[in-house]
Chains A and B, each alone.
Chain A
Amino acid sequence: SYDLTQPPSVSVSPGQTASITCSGDTLGNRYASWYQQKPGQSPVLVIYHDNKRPSGIPERFSGSKSGNTATLTISGTQAMDEAEYHCQAWDSSTAVFGGGTKVTVL
């Protein structure tokens, strides 16, 4: 089965930059998406097609990809950005999610 690997946790100070990675075989040939999920809430799409931002998502959220690693970057991190972040891609008509990364704003 296809796997996506994320770090379990990332810590960041307010106003600083948080980077969350997502690695998978041949991810370089697939689109990566990112979702933000706060406790008790449903996920919200923050990045699609590797680096596209849906309307309403703040500009401080950006996505990039290098080789088989996709990265979600939160610039000027705010307390409200504390959440779980999930990456997602498709493999043979199957959607696959990473294990999720807890971002803590200290």
Chain B
Amino acid sequence: QVQLQESGPGLVKPSETLSLTCAVSGYSISSGYYWGWIRQPPGKGLEWIASIYHSGNTHYNPSLKSRVTISMDTSRNQFSLRVSSVTAADTAVYFCARLPTGDYYFDSWGQGTLVTVSS
């Protein structure tokens, strides 16, 4: 059974870059599936950020694309997210998740990690 675990700093200063990693166990990310990031500001709904396939193919939320980079490290079986020039509006719980290849739903999620943007 696949398990996903997010990690990264819980506090980031405004204008700096937020970096998160999702470690995957129970499945080799190089074998398939899309892998993605979704966030949820406190008290608000879910917002998809980006997804990446093992081939390196990526998709980004147009509203965040200019500040976001998703990448994959198959040797460590993990994928990562970077969000640059963060503001208080980027404060959220960040989830990593798995998306079956060619399909339209997220079937496994990490527990989420809270990132606060504050000086």
Contact = CB atoms under 8 A, between A and B. Distances in A.
A96 B95 contact: no
A20 to B, nearest CB: 14
Interface of B: 36, 38, 45-48, 51, 59, 61-63, 95, 103-107, 109-112
A42 B111 contact: yes
A42 B106 CA distance: 12
B105 A45 contact: yes
Contact of B51 (A48, A95, A99): A95
Contacts of A89: 104
Contact of B59 (A41, A42, A94, A96): A94
Contact of B95 (A1, A33, A43, A99): A43
Nearest to B96: A42
Interface string A74-90: 00000000000010111
A31 B45 contact: no
Interface string A58-94: 0000000000000000000000000000101110011
Given A95-B51, A99-B45, A54 B63 contact: no
B50 to A, nearest CB: 10
B58 to A, nearest CB: 10
B17 to A, nearest CB: 23
Contacts of B36: 95
B18 to A, nearest CB: 19
B19 to A, nearest CB: 20
Given A93-B59, A94-B48, A33 B105 contact: yes
Given A1-B62, A31-B105, A42 B45 contact: no
